[in-house]
Amino acid sequence: MMKKFLLLSITLFLLSGCWNYQDINNTRLVAGMAIDYDQEKDEYITTIEIVNLQAGQRGVMKGQIYQSRGNLPFEGVRDMIIKTGKKLYWPHAKIIIISQDIAKEKMIPILDYIYRDSEFRQEVYLIVSKEKTAQEIFKRYTGEEFSSILGYHIHQGIKSEKSISKYTGIESWKFIKALYEEGISATLPAIKNVERNERIYPILGELAVFQKDSLVGWLTESETKAFLWAVDEIKGGLIIIDPQVENEKVNVTLEILKSKTTVKPIYKDGEIIMNIEITTDVAIGEIAGSIDVIGKEGRAIVQKQAQKYIKNQVEEVIKKVQKDYNSDIFQFSKKIKNTMPHIWKNIYKDWDKMFSQIKCNIEVKINIRGSALKSKPILIK
């Protein structure tokens, strides 16, 4: 018995450790990647940002840009080893930025490479560049004093989406999963460069709308927030309205505390209708004036206007997606399939035509839970 125990202990000791362990001195850590497509040469252009430890400065890291080409994305990445001098280490890569050209026609080769390569983590985030190319996001960046490694900075921005609600991050596995599911389509966050104080840096905002594996259009930041309400993904953010109280308009900012959206399809008289119920808790965060919107009468007016505002926003974004993109990013088909499978069996072949005609009943309820630290507006006598 003792011999068996010793043999087992020695075996566990020898086999313990990471199976894909890499010596950091022999590798280059990749923070992010951008992929473009050169139609004239039929080549993929791969731009990567690696983490470079500054010589002589302990603990100081900086992003360093490298670029390569290849007939396939994998070929371009392999050729990068010649330029970096060391093997690339991908498990710490946080983002992959894709050009619009690729998003429109070449998504499958990119997704296949990410999904098939064991070094990529499936949690890597996909982003579509609103610039002419994806590489511009890395190459035009001049805000190093703000953030020395751009890939990690963008990743932190995605993780902060809950308090902004102007975009939503999508991991690669979720996007690929959406391609497999019947009837639905996916979205990806967009990114673009801005210039402020003589510095160029990227900002996240808006959504790229896909139909199956092809980019078909965009949602603005306000449309994106309405979309997030429709799909129960609102976690925070602000509502800015200007209700008329005491015969005077006043700007009011409401902070979203929490929100819940339920979508229930019903079948009536041979027609499918989506019932969308939105319940949102808010606090009065800011009042631009001395008009009382916190009291019972003013609060009721604010509540009514906020409900009308959200309802209109959600109605408009659904109509836009139905009319302009005919892409079920709201996952209505999934709701029908789960609640009325017998109906879905009869309509799934025609869903691409039916989606644009689906009617929606939207009901919104706003609960004002507080007014921050003050119970009255500031009055000047």
Please tell me whether residues 166 and 39 are part of one structural domain.
yes
Q: Which of 25-29, 74-78, 127-131 has the lowest mean pLDDT?
A: 25-29
Q: With bands split at pLDDT 50, 70 and 90, how would you rate the model's confidence at 225?
A: very high
pLDDT of residue 13: 44
Planar angle of CA 74, 77, 83, nearest 5 degrees: 155
Q: Kind of pairing, strands 187-196 and 125-129?
A: parallel
Over residues 200-214, the pLDDT tens digits come to 999 999 999 999 899
Please tell me whether residues 150 and 291 are part of one structural domain.
no
pLDDT of residue 376: 54
What is the mean pLDDT of the segment spanning 325-353? Answer: 95
Please tell me whether residues 53 and 172 are part of one structural domain.
yes
- Angle, helices 221-230 vs 296-320, to 10°: value is 100
Token duo for residue 240: 């800015």
High-pLDDT (> 90) share of the chain, %: 60
CATH number (domain holding residue 254): 3.30.300.210
Please tell me whether residues 341 and 244 are part of one structural domain.
yes
Most confident of 48-62, 118-132, 278-292, 327-341: 327-341
Last residue within a domain, chosen from 170, 198, 219? 219
Token duo for residue 249: 């308009």
Please tell me whether residues 146 and 186 are part of one structural domain.
yes
Number of structural domains the chain divides into: 2
Residue 2 lies in a domain: no
pLDDT of residue 270: 84
Please tell me whether residues 204 and 174 are part of one structural domain.
yes
Q: With bands split at pLDDT 50, 70 and 90, how would you rate the model's confidence at 54?
A: low
pLDDT of residue 295: 82
**Average pLDDT of every residue of the chain:** 86
Residue 193 lies in a domain: yes
Residue 289 lies in a domain: yes
Residue 66 lies in a domain: yes
Please tell me whether residues 42 and 191 are part of one structural domain.
yes
Cβ neighbours, 10 Å, residue 350: 9
Question: 169 Cβ partners below 8 Å, 6+ apart?
Answer: 125, 158, 159, 161, 189
Residue 10 lies in a domain: no
pLDDT(312) > 90? yes
pLDDT of residue 21: 46
What is the mean pLDDT of the segment spanning 153-160? Answer: 92
pLDDT of residue 49: 94
Backbone angles phi, psi at 5, to 5 degrees: -65, -45
- Give which of 60, 57, 77 is closest to 68, Cα–Cα: 77
Q: What sign does the CA torsion over 98, 190, 94, 149 have?
A: positive
pLDDT of residue 171: 95
Over residues 258-307, the pLDDT tens digits come to 999 999 999 988 899 999 999 999 998 888 777 777 888 888 999 999 99
Separation between Cα atoms, residue 344 and residue 183, nearest integer Å: 10
Please tell me whether residues 212 and 255 are part of one structural domain.
no
Separation between Cα atoms, residue 342 and residue 71, nearest integer Å: 46
* Side-by-side strand order, sheet with 359-370: 238-241, 251-268, 271-288, 359-370
Residue 226 lies in a domain: no
Residue 1 lies in a domain: no
pLDDT(52) > 90? no
Over residues 166-190, the pLDDT tens digits come to 889 999 999 999 988 989 999 999 9
Please tell me whether residues 263 and 301 are part of one structural domain.
yes
Residue 19 lies in a domain: no
Q: Judge residue 354's burial from the number of C-beta atoms within 10 Å of its C-beta, 0-12 exposed, 13-18 middle, 19 or more buried.
A: middle
Owning domain of residue 257: 232-370
| Bridge partners of residue 126, in order along the sequence | 96
What is the mean pLDDT of the segment spanning 18-31? Answer: 63
Last residue within a domain, chosen from 194, 219, 244? 219
Please tell me whether residues 106 and 204 are part of one structural domain.
yes
What is the mean pLDDT of the segment spanning 349-375? Answer: 85
Token duo for residue 220: 């603005």
What is the mean pLDDT of the segment spanning 37-63? Answer: 81
pLDDT of residue 379: 47
Please tell me whether residues 243 and 153 are part of one structural domain.
no
Q: With bands split at pLDDT 50, 70 and 90, how would you rate the model's confidence at 50?
A: very high
Last residue within a domain, chosen from 219, 254, 281? 219
pLDDT of residue 232: 96
Q: With bands split at pLDDT 50, 70 and 90, how would you rate the model's confidence at 330?
A: very high
pLDDT of residue 85: 74
Please tell me whether residues 172 and 236 are part of one structural domain.
no
